[in-house]
Amino acid sequence: MRRLGVALALLGLCGGVALAARVPLRVVVVEAEPRDAEVARRLRGQTSDLDVELVSVRAPAPQGDRADVARLAEVEGARVVIWFEHAADVIVVHLVDPRTRSELLRDVTSAGSGAAAESARAEAAALVARGALRALARGGRIGVGSPPGAREPEVPPDAPEPPPPEPSPDGPDIEVRGGRPALRVTVGWQLAFDGETPTGQHGLDVRLGLGRGAWHVALGALAGLPGELDDDDVAIEVARHGLLVAGGVERRGRRLRLGLGAALGVIAFFRSSAALSAEVSATPSQTTPVFFVSPEATASLRLGGGLWLQLTGAADVLLPRPDFGYQIAGRFASRHRFWPVEPRVGVALTLKN
């Protein structure tokens, strides 16, 4: 009953979060050259209070090729693609929605040259993109903007830069392909079927890792609850604990991600027993370490921002498999021998920074 209560509480928490979560507007920002990274940084600050998720991608600028834009949006599971063109005194902002085949085009200029003018242009370009994304996030549309050459009012080079807004607690989940790895934290509940424990072996599964693009690696720990084995003469409880290293790759989408990976490590089966009959005597508690390797398949559903609900299916191959029994006349008699391959399922919340 205690295990059932914990599992129901976890599922209730997941359901409550899912009801409260919002689906952000996913946006690809193309960083074709070093100057684009500075504009993208300003844009992240300008959109931190919007329901927008920015994904920065280092790639050549689409140059207005709609096929390239649509392909880039599809690969990243995004609705909008943004890129920039730089000239001596102008930044051209391109914002395209491939789904509606609409485009916003704006020239941002400033008089003068040098670091101050470049900084002013970068901030102004970020403000232009913010305005369009704010409208799209609220259900609006964008249209064809001014053609190249039809310029926005000039921004004085010595104009003070507006401070970026403070990031909100439910701000965007920013992933940088080709940039620094992103932190991943997973906390969940797992159930392994061993062929001997009537209700399976339940336990907590916690992993801390890094992700870069579609790939990720993690270190994990398993903490199990004691499970009872059926036996008329001895009350036997076995708990499943462990340490592991895991990794894998995901097919990335806007709301749903499917992944394949593997984990390997050590599982420690902690056994305690008590005699139920005068004809037997219980042996002291014992821990049996077992190496394991496990292929894993995952399906992740976005709940909002960087929070995902993850379902896992796996098969733990035990080397060797645990075997519990009796000592009779100095010889071991097997009584409870676990399956060599234990199916495992799990549900977890994953936070990706």
* Residue 351 to residue 302: CA distance in whole angstroms: 10
Angle between helix 115-137 and 34-46 (nearest 10) = 50
What is the predicted pLDDT for the residue at 172?
35
Topology, domain 180-352: Porin (2.40.160)
151 alpha-carbon distance from chain centroid: 41
Q: Do residues 53 and 305 lie in contact, with contact meaning Cβ atoms separated by under 8 Å?
A: yes
Q: Where are the domains of the chain?
A: 23-176, 180-352
| Secondary structure element (H or E) that encloses residue 267, with its range | strand 256-275
DSSP 202-266: EEEEEEEEEEETTEEEEEEEEEEPPEEEP-SSEEEEEEEEEEEEEEEEEE--SSEEEEEEEEEEE
Strand partners, 187: 206, 349
* pLDDT per residue of the chain (353 residues) written in tens, 0 to 9: 445 454 444 445 444 444 334 567 889 899 888 888 889 999 988 888 888 888 888 888 887 667 888 888 888 888 899 999 887 788 889 898 888 888 888 888 876 677 888 888 889 989 999 988 888 888 777 765 444 444 444 444 444 444 444 443 333 333 333 345 788 999 999 999 988 888 889 999 999 999 877 889 999 999 999 988 877 777 788 899 999 999 999 887 768 889 999 999 999 999 887 777 767 676 777 888 999 999 999 999 988 778 899 999 999 999 888 877 676 666 766 777 889 999 999 999 998 76
What is the predicted pLDDT for the residue at 333?
66
- 282-299 burial code (b ≥16 CB/10 A, e <16): eeeeeeeebebebebebe
Q: Which CATH number among 3.40.50, 3.30.70, 2.40.128, 3.10.450 corresponds to the domain 23-176? A: 3.40.50
Residues in the chain: 353
What is the predicted pLDDT for the residue at 330?
65
